[in-house]
Every structure is written in structure tokens, then in C-alpha cells.
Structure 1
Amino acid sequence: MPTPPVIAIVDDDEDVRVATGSLVRSLGYTARIYASARDFLATCSADAPDCVITDVQMPGMTGVEMQKGLHALGSRVPVIFVTAFPTEALRETLLAAGASDFLGKPCDGATIIRSLEQALTGRSTRDATA
């Protein structure tokens, strides 16, 4: 039996972590939940996920800084960014830096599912709109 994909959820908001983790598990994936980008990066090299869903703005280290840390480690794991303050400029910046997707909060389950499926099959938002 194949091992289910591992999805890391990185968000400083506990309610968002719990809700997203429940959604991920309902899809048959394994959810690993982190309260901060630093917590995630501390375990990432030994326990690499198949995809990361992260908030953009978090105390201590932003999701953007976390993605740069992943790249510095040589990781190209797909990263889905979620933010309560979406702008087109931020979207363009993150997608140009290799983000798999960029979602505004709140986002519904169907949107997260679509984004995860695209990330896990190696397609990004850019691929879906091309």
C-alpha cells in the first residue's frame, strides 16, 4: 500500500492549523502541523513533506522567509501560500519565486483541495492558467 502524501501546515493561528489539518486528513493525506516557520524548518530536513501550506505573515519568520530557507536547504517542495492580505503584487512575487499557489483567507475547502492536487501532481497555478 502506498504511503499517503505528507502535508505540512505552518500557521501561527491555531484555528487555521486545526481546520486545515482536518481537511488534509479527510483527503487521506498525513498532516503535520507547525505553529511557526522556525519550528517547521527545524524538522524539515529530517522529515521532508510532499507539500507545505503556509501563512505569509507570521511572527518571528514569515512564510516567504521560510520558503527561502527551504531553497537554501536544496528543497523544492511545493509551497502553497495563504494570506489574509492578498495583493496582486504579492501573488506575482511569490509565484515568481516558485510558489505552487497563492490563496486569500478565508479560503474554502474546495479551493485548498484543488491547490493541493495541483501541487502534488507537480502543476502550479501558472500551469493551470496557461
Structure 2
Amino acid sequence: MNVTQLLVSIIDDDESVRESLPDLVKELGFSAEAFSSAEEFLASDHVDQTRCLILDIAMPRMSGPELHRELMRRGRPIPIIFITALKDDTVRPRLIEQGAVDCLFKPFTDDALQEALSSALRAN
């Protein structure tokens, strides 16, 4: 598997995350696209090419978990790594139970992201 061909889409309403996280993902050897909302991602032509989503949980309008359910409803089961600034220990197990690959709490380490991406792409 050639990782340079794998697209990781990042959806977060926080501009600083959209500016920094794609650089890190690219350093790890993947292609990356950033979106400011779930709706922007769904309207893009990147849905079918995306091999993994890094998805913020709490966003205006459509939340990360709502986007996850919408993708499943559309028959597009993209592996998802949720990210959140919310420090709620019940969130991670619940999201993983619903099919997420992982849930990382901001700020997370490069190693934690790399491990989650490896898991997501093995699942794909």
C-alpha cells in the first residue's frame, strides 16, 4: 500500500487546527485536505477519495458524530478518528462503540495521531 496515495480529510471548525494538522498528516506521509464543516466536506468531491477522516466532535450545525451517521446512511463507511477538546472520559468509549477507530483529546501527540492513522488505514 502506497501511503502517499491515501487521502486523509480533516474536518474542524477551528482554523488553527485546519492550518496545522494537514502539515502533520503530510509529514506522516499522507495526502491531506482540510474542511471547516461537515457540510463543506459532504459538498466536496473528496468524499469518495477519503480513506480516513480526522473529525472534530463539537462543530456548529452538523457535529462529528452526526456526520459519521450520515456517511453510514449513505453507505460510505470511512474510518474516523475523532478529535476533541472536551475532557469527558465517557466520550471515547461511546464513539469507539459506535464504530470510530479512535478518539484523541486535544492536544494530542504526533505519535498518538500516527498510531490512530495506522489503525484506521488497517481497518480500511
User: Same-fold call, TM > 0.5?
Assistant: yes
What letter is aligned with 1:106? Answer: P
1:101 aligns with 2:102: yes
Q: Which moved more, 1:89-98 or 1:75-84?
A: 89-98
Answering whether residue 32 of structure 2 is matched by residue 31 of structure 1, we say: yes
**Given the alignment of the two structures, is residue 91 of structure 1 paired with residue 92 of structure 2, yes or no?**
yes
User: Closer, same or farther in 2 for the Cα pair 1:122/1:12, shift >3 Å?
Assistant: same
**Structure 2 partner of 1:42:** 43
Question: Counterparts in 2 of 1:1-130, with a 5 A limit?
Answer: 2=2, 4-43=5-44, 47-122=48-123
Q: CA RMSD in A?
A: 1.9
- Ranges of 4+ aligned residues in structure 1 off by more than 3 Å: 44-48
Partner Cα separation in structure 1 for residue 51 and residue 24 of structure 2:
16
Q: Percent identity?
A: 37
- Separation of aligned partners in 2, 1:5 and 1:45: 12
Residues 45 and 29 of structure 1: is their aligned pair in 2 closer, same or farther, counting only changes over 3 Å?
A: closer
Gaps of 5+ in 2: none
User: TM-score normalised to the size of structure 1?
Assistant: 0.86
Q: Secondary structure at the match of 1:31?
A: strand
In the TM superposition, what is the alpha-carbon distance from 1:42 to its structure 2 partner? 1.6
Normalization by structure 2: what TM-score? 0.90
- Cα gap change, 1:35/1:46 in structure 2, threshold over 3 Å: closer, same or farther? closer
1:127 maps to what in 2? none
Task: Return the offset for 1:46.
Answer: 5.4
